[in-house]
Structure 1
């Protein structure tokens, strides 16, 4: 009996040791995918196992043909170091093989590169139908790495926002609001912001609260408002954007009574602040006030971005910048402290460009 038990224990240990020593490869992943094993389980398997993946051009094309999801391919590339050096022909073959632009971009990001981008080479890439966006990443391969740290950074230069565009008539905009001047279309288009109303205000972090209590309220706490998602629905690609603020022309309310109908009460862009939101795993947040034992400030924001404006008429203002604005998450906030007791109306947008 004891001998049988000992044999069973030995066999179990051998089995566990064999499992622990398993080295997974491309075929292992393809087999798991074809067996319809859950994606999260495959990702955990990649993280927990020794691996010897083939992340060459042919290896990636084989994974694509086997319908391995991009998220799993990305994890396989991250688990493989170093990756083979990339050259022009690799990009041509990867794209012709149906590998997604996202995976090709990440492949450039994770690899050493030796691209040739002379005039003839760019024409050859164009002839092979490699998308311009990928060629731009090839021109500045480290830009892909920057993009991984800041998703708002994009590869390639953006055309400058023209300073000579004619000022549109007030009637062009219609209802009051904030409009972005889209300049990359044949004729300028004016895209209206959809406001986000929120009253999800948070006061102080755990660290702030402890420090504030320890110092008798001297250090103070900050009030923050949270925004859902890590990025706004409104996406702008511009290094130096131009906005138009359109106000109501009649029945303006007293400034102290403005709440929901913001544009029926404000008088100029001076009543707004442009803020850069902080992005975290839980979404975005902006600071709207600070309070300590000696001071109480509201109607301001950490991360405020200065802007200039020009009055076109009593109800129309042009807002512009004298320097490039860094890529990131932003919002126009009605900057009146007395209104922070009611819901906040925020005009948020994602600014994507080449400026960090």
Structure 2
């Protein structure tokens, strides 16, 4: 009887494997295999021989445990998830097809200030410094009002040290923000003002009056977002519901020597 059962499971596994062959194994895939009665060693073998995309957050692992996934498999899922984060620092969002897309940084094309107007009225108004991005729409288009972003930071301090010691290398140039920062609290989310006639988007980056001056994003313009730690260097970021428009994440932390912070991670909500 046991032999017949194993033969049946192997047959089901072989048929299912064909369906999974062109897929990436996810939390849902693992739960499906558990529900079909696959033994742990079969599921573990499938995970080890496939491309994977796991959500290893506490809530997701809890759901899988409640679905009957064993501790051994959960441990493997956590390990695989760590391996997948080591080489892809940055901000990601999931598009309509379920594929993770990297939000590439956009560089400010210019700046603007109304300092002249301030002088004309004897300093009675604040002078505003504005940074500008080309085009009226981001290349990163998201068609949902409450998207989820994944922030992935460098997994160790060693990478930061290497970046600082190799200012001319690719590791120092690409995504240095995620080697300097350690969590999403070092970024601020703001809505960009669209200037149709000038074909650009802009954000206020500082204010100055005849008495005081300030730089950076005014806290009153910062939009709220929730943060859930998935792993030590990986976080799920969920903004409050966003109306259609242009937005960006701006890094507000320490800037490494020899660098400037003239880029933002922009996206469009439609």
TM-score range, shorter chain: 0.5 to 0.7
Residue in 2 that maps onto 1:175: 88
CA 1:166–1:180 in 2, change beyond 3 Å: closer, same or farther? Answer: farther
1:316 equivalenced with 2:234 (yes/no): yes
Deviation of 1:219 after TM superposition, in Å, equals 1.8
Structure-1 separation of matches of 2:214 and 2:194: 23
Residue in 1 that maps onto 2:42: none
Q: Which structure's residues are more often strand, by fraction?
A: 2
Deviation of 1:238 after TM superposition, in Å, equals 0.7
Contact 2:181 2:253 in 1 (8 A): no
Kindly name which structure, 1 or 2, has the bigger radius of gyration based on alpha carbons: 1
- Show the 5 A alignment for 1:1-356: 166=60, 169-173=81-85, 174-182=87-95, 184-185=96-97, 188-198=98-108, 200-204=110-114, 209-210=116-117, 212-250=118-156, 251=158, 253=160, 261-280=176-195, 281-282=197-198, 283-301=200-218, 303-321=221-239, 323-336=240-253, 342-352=260-270
Q: Which has the higher contact order (CA 8 A, sep 6+)?
A: 2
Residue in 2 that maps onto 1:83: none
Aligned length: 179
Structure 2's unaligned 5+ residue stretches are: 1-57, 62-77
* Deviation string, structure 1 residues 172-222 (Cα, Å, up to 9, x no partner): 45410000033x43xx42211111123622222xxx632x21444342211
* Deviation string, structure 1 residues 282-325 (Cα, Å, up to 9, x no partner): 1111111111122222221474321111122221111013x421
- Secondary structure at 1:264's aligned position in 2? helix
CA 1:170–1:274 in 2, change beyond 3 Å: closer, same or farther? Answer: farther
Contact 1:198 1:343 in 2 (8 A): no
Structure-1 separation of matches of 2:59 and 2:231: 17
Contact 1:277 1:303 in 2 (8 A): no
Structure-2 separation of matches of 1:328 and 1:171: 35
Superposed CA RMSD in Å reads 3.1
Contact 2:109 2:133 in 1 (8 A): no
Structure-2 separation of matches of 1:338 and 1:265: 8
Contact 1:235 1:351 in 2 (8 A): yes
